[in-house]
Amino acid sequence: DTLGPTICIGEILAEIVATTTGHGFAESQPLIGPFPSGAPAIFIDQCGRIGGKAAMIGAVGDDDFGRMNRARLERDGVDVSGIAVDDTLPTGSAFVRYRPDGDRDFVFNMWTSAAGNLRWTDAVEAVVSGAGHLHVMGTLLVRPGIWDMTDRAAQIIKARGGSISLDPNLRKELKDDGETAARLAQILEMTDVLLPSGDELQLAAGRSDRQAAIDALFARGITEIALKDGTRGATVFTPGAAPVHADAFAVTEVDPTGAGDCFGGAYIAARRLGEQIATALDLACAAGARNVTVRGPMEGAGTRQELEDFMKANRRITHGITA
């Protein structure tokens, strides 16, 4: 990461979680929080915490939710100079309750919060012009203002020899929307590392066969695909080499939010620090697994030492059976 930090652009939220499972928030119930949150913030926090150079671009309100988020990112080594403090809107928030079946109910205040007012400023320009890598959240391709910033940052970083990763987080409905599909195609052209899960690999490539999808993405210039598969672990594909697989760690899931983002933050940081694919993948699986053992979306993000200790202390799941 000598070229400069990894950056991520997007929402920073305070998350408040119901301590009981159930359906929604229609009645009074015990809640815990606030916790620092927002997918891009979770990614960049894990990136910084593991020792990668990292910077966040986002916006918070002039309130405790914003100060809490900034303080956490700073503590974990993230450059927060690209985080604007909005003088009118509050920090975004998310209330989350898990249903008995594992699904979630949300009440969001996201785009009507400071997060919705994110703009390209001189501070943003300064961070982007010194950055070496951009991580793009596919969920944000639907936001015109954030897309413009993402595209502008991507052009600047690619022009200075930097790289781009993309977590597609795609649902079929998004892909079918013309403008979103066009943005996806544009960012895919610039993407070096893809971090899909589920059928996002096929959706991103527009091919239903997995190997055909991988080949099509390599043909477009992607050099590394880290496919996340929950408790089945993850596999990295690179052109012309055998896939590298890592089994997941056997843990008791307390709060599944943030696994994919911690996985991504650890993987990208480790690769940019010069780690081999297998090492980066192990650290990433440890980061994803460790994060689900703790309540709060980024409370389980680990330092290098914490992740190594975690790997020693926890067994792997092989083919659904604990090894």
What residues line the site for ligand ATP (CB under 6 A)? 197, 228-231, 233-234, 248-249, 251, 253, 256, 258-260, 263, 285, 288-289, 292
CB 52 within 8 A of CB 1: yes
Q: Which token pair is 42?
A: 């979770």
* C-alpha separations of 176 from 108, 173, 187, 188 in Å: 24, 5, 16, 16
For the CB of residue 267, give the shortest distance to ligand ATP in the complex, in Å.
9
* Nearer of residues 88 and 252 to ligand ATP, judged by Cβ: 252
Rounded to whole angstroms, what are the CA distances from 281 to 206, 240, 248, 310, 317? 26, 18, 10, 14, 15
Q: Measured between alpha carbons, how far is 245 from 281 in angstroms, rounded to an integer?
A: 8
Min. distance of Cβ 310 from ligand ATP in angstroms? 11
Q: Which is nearer to ligand ATP, 180 or 257 (CB)?
A: 257
According to DSSP, the β-strands at 244-246 and 133-137 are unpaired
CB of 269 to ligand ATP, least distance (A): 15
Name which of 86 and 200 has its Cβ closer to ligand ATP. 200
Nearer to ligand ATP, 80 or 234 (CB): 234
> Long-range contacts for 236-244 (Cβ within 8 Å, ≥24 apart)?
236/277, 236/281, 238/277, 244/277, 244/278, 244/281
**Residue with smaller CB distance to ligand ATP, 35 or 89:** 35
State the nearest-atom distance from the C-beta of 290 to ligand ATP, in Å.
9
Residue facing ligand ATP at closest CB distance: 288
Least distance in angstroms from the C-beta of 313 to ligand ATP: 13
